[in-house]
Structure 1
Amino acid sequence: MPSETSIEIRPLARHDAPALAALMADYAVAMGGAARQPRPEAALRLFDEPMAGLVGAWNGGALVAFALFFDLPEAISGERAGQLDDLYVSPNARGHGLAKALIAHLTEIGRERNWAHLRWLVPEDNAAALRAYAGISEAAPWQSRVIWLRRELEY
């Protein structure tokens, strides 16, 4: 169980790939995917994406949460925007404000980069996440859509 004083939020680096891979495997299951072994090579690929960034929450030397985001051009304003693509908090670390802390960290990155906004998607059936995000954000006036191109990766 995390204590507020023991949590460190920082950008993730390539040497964090094994810890990130373990959380990614847990996240896949949480999203409805099949159980899988951690794949550090998949985590390493995330660090090769030029517009992507990763931040993590550490508790006592263990990675307990991560957020994957993109710094993207935004056509409506002609500025840049942040897109939070994935945020996962391990079950044993939930209920301690880590999702909000990761998002607060991303808003600071966004202010430094002069983003127009930070946006993200929330599964409609995740009531806990929707409640948590209601206090720090507003509902966007759009709906998410998906076309699955590789059915084996569908969740």
Structure 2
Amino acid sequence: MITINALAPADRPAWERLFAEYNAFYGRDTMPPGFYDDAWAEFQAGQRMHALGAKVDGEIVGIVHFFVHPSTTSADVCYLQDLFTSPEARGKGVARQLIAAVKEWGTSQGCVQLYWHTKQDNHTARLLYDKVAENKGFIQYSIPLEP
């Protein structure tokens, strides 16, 4: 049975391991000092950014990070920024339930849309995403900004 809940302080080590694996998947192997501490503090505060964990048999096997932002063309929208499940949990409905939980949360906050990005070649994830959401065909462009 999969349970989805907000992350508790005791979940920090498992969350950090999964988030590090997620970052490595996207080629971000080295994070700046304090990165995980800062993100964890934001998630625990639950004001600007939010996180949920998926547990199976009491062990965290998936995480999701998300936040609300305004839109120029609608009411607020919910952006799912990070979604990751441990390799052994894949194909068991964990990611689907994490997405559903964020959808429910966003609806309760008055958001009119939930959306996310993934890499075009992330074929495994896209098998699920194509079932639970609509690909609107947008391409993302990015410019790094230096402080």
Question: Considering the TM-score relative to the shorter chain, is it more than 0.5?
Answer: yes
CA RMSD of aligned residues (A): 2.1
Q: Name the CA distance, whole Å, in 1 between partners of 2:145 and 2:9.
A: 28
Kept in 2, the 8 Å contact 1:20–1:43? The answer is: no
Residues 4-153 of structure 1 correspond to what in structure 2 (within 5 A)?
Answer: 5=1, 7-34=2-29, 41-47=37-43, 48=45, 50-77=47-74, 79-149=75-145
TM-score normalized by structure 2? 0.85
Q: Which runs of 5+ in 1 are unaligned?
A: 151-155
| Matches of 1:75 and 1:40, distance apart in 2 | 31
Structure 2: 5+ residue stretches without partners: none
Q: Give the count of matched residue pairs.
A: 142
Q: For 1:74-110, what per-residue CA distance to the aligned partner results, in whole angstroms no more than 9, with x for missing partners? A: 1111x11100000001111111111111111111112
TM-score, length of structure 1 as denominator length: 0.81
CA contact (8 A) 2:42 2:48 kept: no
Asked if the contact 2:54–2:98 (Cα under 8 Å) also holds between the matched residues in 1, the reply is yes
Identity of aligned residues (%): 32
Query: Counterpart of 1:104 in 2: which secondary structure?
Result: helix
